[in-house]
A and B are shown apart, each in its own frame.
Chain A
Amino acid sequence: MAETSEAPVTPHSDVLAGHGHAHLPPTGFLRKHVFSLDHKVIGKQYLDLALVAVLTGMVLSWLMRFHLAYPAAAVPGLGKIAPGVAAGGIITPELYLQLMTMHGTIMVFFVLTTAPFAGFGNFILPIQVGAEDMAFPRFNMMSFWVTLVAFLVLLASFFVHEGPALSGWTAYAPLSAIGKAAGPGQGTGQTLWALSIAIFCVGQLLGSLNFIATTLDLRTRGMTLMRMPFSTWAWFITSIIGLIAFSVLLPACILLILDRVAGTSFFVPAGLVVSDQLQPHSGGSPLLWQHLFWFFGHPEVYIAILPGIGIISHVLPAFARKPLLGPKVVLSCMGAIAFLSYTVWGHHMFLSGMNPLSATLFSVPTLIITIPATIVVLLWIGTLYGSRMRFTTAGLFCLGFVSVFVSGGISGFFLAQPSIDTYLHGTYFVVGHFHFVMGVAAMFGIFAGMFFWFPKMYGRMLNETLGKIHFILTLIGVYAIFMPMHYLGLAGNVRRYSTFTDEYMKSSLPLHRFITYAALFTGAVQLIFLFNVFWSRFRGARATANPWDATSLEWSTSSPPPFDNFGGQHPVVVNGPNEYGTAGPAGDHLMQAPALAPGG
């Protein structure tokens, strides 16, 4: 990984697609804005898709939270929209599970994978390595459109008979493999789910391939591997993880679809009686699905969070005005996390009936993976020490990221131990844990990236006052939502329940109500961000080329960059990305490429 090979002298043009040396943007509206080959347009398209997806996912979570707090109350208007599953607006148990499944699937796949990785990565990575575009622009465009189709297929399941799948984002077999006998939504809805995820995998495989090829082949002169910014490193490592993870999930989904529609028995054992019918399957293994799924599923957590780690490591020094502490250590830690992420998938299955000895084996790397994570956190905090921190919104989101990453990471200590997991598994403790570390931390990374790169992407600044209000309220809000979930988990409150009937967990209702208020409040706060993004896109203050006095290549070109990123020039890199606090011609930092070299 620490290879410092000589960077290629001239960037190659696209190999397979026969792209010539044209530097002029296409002129037709469709080619320019819709079916664009430009990585910058594709990156924005991914971010817009993620924005639509995150709003959808958030509304779904509001409905769930409302029902948990007021199980007997009607959601205003819902009875009209969905009379079949929510007669009179009261959410039925099956609708609750469908909302939950769709919330999880949309958030994990279409927000946490698309925004920090495919979105920012597409826009920024080629510029940061000094390339004119991705290595395979056509694959890149396909990657986005394939992902969009996957999203539409998933949304379509809301409108089919009996609605979307209810088996959770993990879609455990045989519940997911049997078909509609297993419950409402397990018919067409579940098939569409599996189809959507399979399509999504194809899109992400194309994207990952592209990221890897671009990073390896299209670096500009002087951009050695060790001079790549942390964010580029993170996207590069993430795409390697993604390449492996999605190519395991893809065949898993294909096998699941075959079990469902072609009557095969990959995941369904013999002798199951569902809805009083003996199932015709025989000899399959439900654990096989769990192994395949989590072999993808755990690395997926790092696909969501590693870009965040990279973004923070990239953005924090720019506002702390000093170099990141231990840059090589940070890179090694990212590499170690990526490697270890493939050795820990079994910790999701401590209680799934696999050999109990293997639980111990999976527990050790799971605990060990906290070491590189802790080191990175300490290095961030150490970077803050003695800095001259500019508390811009992006900088604040970096610090917020550190805080929630710590909170989410520490609860992992509990769940990594099989003996404690026997108590906490399947409770709200787990929900609190992964929402902090994978949901909120990744979202804070996205927010930090958004406030940092928005000027570069749209040529206008996001409003800082609105941004800071949004940050403070969001920080308080997420703690109010997710910290109490740990208390619920300690009390033995089980997740994935739409209501707590009889006396079971009645005592937790007040805390559930509190969480619901916090969730509605925090959701409402996001409208500030939404307004900020839309308003600033058209009305924000004009951005200069380098509003943050940052060093990396994207700040050497105009905001927004021209079609070929550097106006026909090829930047020559002479410095690493971490040169803050060093007096130079630009002030207290050294640009990676001090001046653009003449075109060639």
Chain B
Amino acid sequence: MGKLFAAIVAVITLISAGIFIARIWWLPPDISVLGVGIDHQLVETLIASGVLFVLAQLALAAFAWQYGAGDATRPIKIFPGGATPMVVLAVLLVGAEVLVLTFVGSRVWAGIFLSPPAANALHVDVQAEQFAYYFRYAGKDGKFGTLHPDMIDDANGNFFGLDPANDTTARDDIVSASLVVPVGQPVLLTLHAKDVGHAFYVPDLRIQQDFVPGLDIPLQFTATQVAKKEIVCTQLCGLGHFNMRAYLEVKPQAQFAEWLADQEAQLE
């Protein structure tokens, strides 16, 4: 029985690790500036923990193979050195890994969430609701109109609750159902939710952030390639959660400017 168990564990371990190594299922290609650091960090963690995984499982399998009760005369042996080498090994190996990962990882994290927004960043206001996203650009004046939750009226297209009649800054606000951004320019999103918690996840950008009702949460990224990708919700928001998504359209600078001009023209 011990040998059967050992063989099964060894086979499972090798297949599991092999699929990771072969990259049969893998991350979609990265299209953001910060994604490189995240991918790097992920691969390093994968290698470090992969080695630990394979070693631990194979040691378990080898001992189970070796030390059955079959031979009743064989005396038991205590692991050389007792518990001390185990403790030292665990503390050193894992401790070193913890240190390295924390050090490198917190720099990557800081790059996304703790660095000040770039001066030339494009500001987009994002509202999530059951079960859609709306994106708002400030328009010509560069200022966002004030939000009035009591004036939200989906039927008439006033998703944000703007008050153009009394609020001049709101009159030129552009509202779009997709997030259109220029390639290479930093984008600063302000996330706020209309009803319940949602999330903003673009696997290709390697970023994810919750929308929390009552909070305005900043999120920044810079896309490096022209692309059209899906933005999906990862925070359970109700029955339409599975179908809540929008498109991220990364356009060349010129085409983006064209799109923006088009949108402005439609307002007038």
Contact = CB atoms under 8 A, between A and B. Distances in A.
Chain A–chain B contact at Cβ < 8 A? yes
Interface of A: 92-94, 96-97, 166-168, 172-175, 178, 182-184, 186, 268-276, 278, 284-287, 320-322, 325-326, 329, 351-353, 356-357, 359-360, 363-364, 367-368, 370-371, 374-375, 377-379, 381-391, 396, 399-400, 402-403, 406-407, 410-411, 413-414, 417-420, 422-423, 425-427, 468, 472, 475-476, 479, 483, 487-488, 490-492, 494-502, 504, 508, 511, 581
Contacts of A182: 130, 195-196, 238
The 6 A-B pairs at the shortest CB distance, nearest first, are namely A326-B83, A386-B77, A269-B214, A492-B203, A426-B234, A356-B113
Given A371-B95, A414-B46, A423-B38, 20 more contacts: A93-B241, A175-B196, A273-B152, A273-B195, A320-B67, A321-B76, A352-B210, A353-B210, A356-B114, A377-B56, A386-B78, A403-B60, A407-B16, A417-B102, A419-B108, A422-B209, A423-B27, A426-B201, A487-B25, A497-B242
A388 B201 CA distance: 52
Given A491-B27, A491-B28, A385 B77 contact: yes
B168 interface: no
A266 B42 CA distance: 38
B45 interface: yes
A502 B81 CA distance: 59
B49 A488 contact: no
B113 A367 contact: no
A459 to B, nearest CB: 25
Contacts of A417: 41, 45, 101-102, 105, 109
B85 to A, nearest CB: 8
B113 to A, nearest CB: 4
B238 A371 contact: no
Contact of B90 (A375, A413, A483, A581): A375
B86 A375 contact: yes
B236 A97 contact: yes
Nearest to B112: A422
A382 B82 CA distance: 8
B119 interface: no
B154 to A, nearest CB: 7
A359 B57 contact: no
20 contacts: A94-B239, A174-B213, A183-B130, A269-B214, A272-B214, A286-B212, A325-B79, A326-B83, A353-B211, A364-B98, A379-B86, A406-B60, A417-B45, A418-B109, A419-B109, A475-B9, A476-B12, A488-B25, A491-B26, A492-B27
Contacts of B197: 172-175, 286
Contact of A326 (B86, B101, B210): B86
Contacts, number: 320
A426 B235 contact: yes
Contact of B243 (A93, A273, A356, A406): A93
Contact of B69 (A168, A390, A511): A390
B242 A501 contact: yes
What class of interface size applies to chain B in its complex with A? Answer: 35 or more
Contacts of B251: none
A483 B76 contact: no
A476 B230 CA distance: 35
B210 A183 contact: no
Interface string B98-110: 1001100110111
A275 B195 CA distance: 8
Contacts of B48: 413
B195 A174 contact: yes
A280 to B, nearest CB: 12
Contact of A183 (B89, B101, B238): B238
Interface in B16-66: 16, 19-20, 24-28, 37-38, 41-42, 45-46, 48-49, 52-53, 56-57, 59-60, 63-64
A463 to B, nearest CB: 15
A426 B199 contact: yes
Contacts of A498: 242
Interface of B: 1-2, 4-5, 8-9, 12, 16, 19-20, 24-28, 37-38, 41-42, 45-46, 48-49, 52-53, 56-57, 59-60, 63-64, 67-69, 71-72, 74, 76-79, 82-83, 86-87, 89-91, 93-95, 97-98, 101-102, 105-106, 108-110, 112-114, 129-130, 149-150, 152, 154, 161, 193-197, 199, 201, 203, 206-215, 217, 230, 232-243, 245
A321 B5 contact: no
Greatest chain B CB density within 10 A among A287, A383, A468, A492 is at A492
B213 A321 contact: no
B212 A287 contact: yes
A114 B183 CA distance: 54
A478 to B, nearest CB: 10
Nearest to B87: A375
Contact of B195 (A272, A403, A501): A272
A548 to B, nearest CB: 12
Given A175-B196, A175-B236, A272-B194, A410 B105 contact: no
Contact of A391 (B1, B89, B240): B1
A391 B69 contact: yes
A389 B74 CA distance: 12
Nearest to B197: A172
A142 to B, nearest CB: 34
Contacts of A418: 105-106, 109
A182 B240 CA distance: 11
A119 to B, nearest CB: 26
A326 B86 CA distance: 9
A93 B236 CA distance: 12
Given A93-B241, A422-B206, A487 B194 contact: no
Given A286-B214, A496-B241, A479 B236 contact: no
A272 B130 CA distance: 12
A331 B85 CA distance: 17
A288 B144 CA distance: 29
A410 to B, nearest CB: 5
A425 B234 contact: yes
Contacts of A387: 63, 67, 76
A243 B52 CA distance: 35
B87 A403 contact: no
A580 B194 CA distance: 63
A274 B196 contact: yes
Contacts of A423: 27, 38, 42, 203, 206-208
B57 A406 contact: yes
A379 B83 contact: yes
A328 B97 CA distance: 25
Contact of A93 (B12, B56, B201, B240): B240
Nearest to A478: B12
Contacts of A325: 78-79, 82-83, 86
B236 A168 contact: yes
A501 B24 CA distance: 22
A414 B105 CA distance: 11
A266 to B, nearest CB: 12
Nearest to B104: A419
A381 B236 contact: no
A93 B105 contact: no
Contacts of A352: 210, 212
Contact of B239 (A184, A388, A400): A184
Contacts of A357: 114
Nearest to A426: B234
Contacts of A276: 152, 154
B212 A353 contact: yes
Contact of B209 (A186, A351, A371): A351
B60 A581 contact: no
Given A286-B197, A385-B79, A419-B109, A391 B2 contact: yes
Contacts of A269: 213-214
